[in-house]
Each structure stands twice: as structure tokens, then as C-alpha cells.
């Protein structure tokens, strides 16, 4: 009886292992691009069911392990995320994804009692990409070398494909956050109120006078109004 019980238990274990092996047999691949056919390197591919993450390479191509009905989410800073479910039971499944550029996160210029709309959106983006942004850069060979003594880089750390992709993603994220901050203050509504411009003229003025991040960080709200006014005077004379 004990032998039979052990055989049954072993059979159950083997059955469970077999199921797990089957679940790990689907390789999902594809390319990530946007609606203008621009490939998106460093896009984040997440298997929601397993918590596994991957990134697209320089050509926008990705690969991630999954099983049937697993939900895959593709995300990239500045774009709306897309999602799909794995259809195959085994082998390789190819899913090409086209992401749509996210519209302006701000719907107006109103301020909440604690956070501005930009701050709320920024915190949500930070939460979404925390798993990658919080990863520390790998220690480099010679990293503790005193300043001026020279630095030696390890080809296994800094120059590994994954490490380079991670660092590039962090840079892209930082650049995107700066642009979002500029857009949260240098808005079409505000510029139109100050200059009276509309339509194509408004877009042209904003393109020609788009402020850099350092400048707009130093400007208070009133100073920004004066800055736009001064820019408009110079711009209108040229036109």
C-alpha cells in the first residue's frame, strides 16, 4: 500500500513537472515600432503572468518566454502601452506591435491641492518603470580607482548588451521626463493667451521658441509670462 501511494505521488509530481515544461515552451518574438514605422529600441516587454521582463534590441526586435494565454504588455516611454495574449501552446509565436504616441498627459493648467497633473503623471510613469530604473549600474573594473588615476572598463559589465540597453533606457527616460516638464508649462493654451496666436502660427512660434529644460526650471510662473512676451516680440519682428 505504501509503495502504491509513493508511485501515485511520484506520478503526480511528474505530471506537474510535465505541465510546467509545456508552459515554458512558447517563445514570443516580434518587432516593436510606432505608427510611423519607426522602430523602438529598449521597449519593455513584460509577461504579466510570470513577471518576466525583456527589452527590444536596436532593431526593435524582442524575445520573451511565455505559455498559452499569458498576457504580454509592450511599453515604451512616451507611448501608450499595448497588450496581447499568447495564442500558441508551443514553439514560436511572432507578434509585431505598433505603439501609439501618448497624447499630452496634461488636460489643463489646474493644480490639485497637493500635486500638479504633471507631477501625478510623472509619479505614475516612475512607478511603471521602477523595476528597471531602480536597477543599479553594475560595478566596473577599476571603479574605485582614485580620480585621475585612470579607469578600466569591464567588457563583461558596462559593455554587455543588457547593461548598455539598461543605461540607454535610463537616459531616454530622463530626456523624456525633461521634455514632459517643459510641455507641462510651455503649453499651447498659455502661449496663445500671452501672444494671441492661433493654429499654424501658434505651432510655428512654439517650435521656434521651444525652451530648454535648464531655462524653464529657473523661470517662475510670472517670469515665464515675461519670457514668452519677449520671445514673441523678437519673433514677430522677424516674421
Compute mean pLDDT per 10 residues along the chain, 239 residues long, and list them: 52 54 77 84 89 86 93 87 93 93 51 68 80 71 42 48 76 86 92 92 93 93 93 88
pLDDT digits (tens, 9 = 90+) for 74-83: 988 778 899 9
DSSP state of 41: T
Is residue 107 situated within a structural domain? Answer: no
* 95 and 125 in a common domain: no
For residue 140, the enclosing domain spans 117-238
Cα–Cα distance measured from residue 158 to residue 152, given in angstroms and rounded to the nearest whole number: 10
DSSP string of 22-62? HHT-EEEEEEEEETT--B-TT-EEEETTTTEEEE--TTSEE
d(CA 168, CA 162): 10
Q: 3-state DSSP call for residue 40?
A: coil
Would you call 125 exposed, middle or buried from its count of C-beta atoms within 10 A (0-12, 13-18, 19+)?
buried
- Tell me: do 80 and 124 sit in the same domain: no
Shared domain for 122 and 209, answered yes or no, is: yes
Indicate if 234 and 121 belong to the same structural domain: yes
Best CA proximity match to 186, nearest among 154, 209, 155: 209
Cell, residue 39: 522602430
- What phi and psi, each to the nearest 5 degrees, are found at residue 17? -65, -40
- Counted domains in the chain: 2
Both 157 and 197 in a single domain?
Answer: yes
What pLDDT was estimated at residue 161?
A: 67
| Same domain, yes or no: 157 and 52 | no
Of 101, 130, 146, the position where a domain reaches its end is 101
Whether 94 and 179 map to the same domain: the answer is no
pLDDT digits (tens, 9 = 90+) for 127-174: 877 877 887 776 544 444 344 434 444 444 445 667 777 777 888 888
Tell me the pTM.
0.56
Q: Is the same domain home to 195 and 149? A: yes
As a whole number of angstroms, the distance between CA 151 and CA 145 comes to: 7
Amino acid at each position: 500500500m505504501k509503495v502504491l501511494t509513493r508511485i501515485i505521488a511520484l506520478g503526480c509530481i511528474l505530471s506537474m513537472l510535465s505541465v510546467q515544461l509545456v508552459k515554458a515552451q512558447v517563445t514570443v518574438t516580434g518587432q516593436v515600432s510606432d505608427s510611423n514605422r519607426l522602430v523602438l529600441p529598449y521597449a519593455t516587454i513584460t509577461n504579466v503572468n510570470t513577471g518576466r521582463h525583456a527589452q527590444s534590441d536596436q532593431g526593435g526586435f524582442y524575445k520573451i518566454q511565455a505559455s498559452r494565454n499569458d498576457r504580454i504588455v509592450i511599453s515604451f516611454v512616451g507611448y501608450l502601452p499595448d497588450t496581447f495574449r499568447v495564442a500558441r501552446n508551443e514553439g514560436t509565436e511572432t507578434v509585431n506591435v505598433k505603439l501609439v504616441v501618448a497624447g499630452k498627459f496634461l488636460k489643463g493648467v489646474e493644480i490639485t491641492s497637493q500635486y500638479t497633473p504633471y507631477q501625478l503623471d510623472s509619479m505614475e510613469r516612475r512607478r511603471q518603470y521602477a523595476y528597471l530604473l531602480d536597477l543599479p549600474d553594475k560595478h566596473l573594473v577599476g571603479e574605485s580607482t582614485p580620480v585621475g588615476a585612470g579607469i578600466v572598463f569591464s567588457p563583461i559589465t558596462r559593455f554587455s548588451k543588457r547593461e548598455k540597453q539598461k543605461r540607454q533606457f535610463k537616459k531616454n527616460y530622463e530626456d523624456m521626463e525633461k521634455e514632459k516638464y517643459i510641455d507641462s508649462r510651455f503649453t499651447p493654451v498659455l502661449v496663445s493667451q500671452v501672444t494671441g496666436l492661433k493654429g499654424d502660427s501658434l505651432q510655428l512660434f512654439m517650435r521656434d521658441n521651444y525652451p530648454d529644460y535648464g531655462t524653464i526650471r529657473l523661470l517662475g510662473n510670472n517670469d515665464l509670462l515675461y519670457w514668452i512676451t519677449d520671445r514673441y516680440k523678437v519673433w514677430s519682428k522677424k516674421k
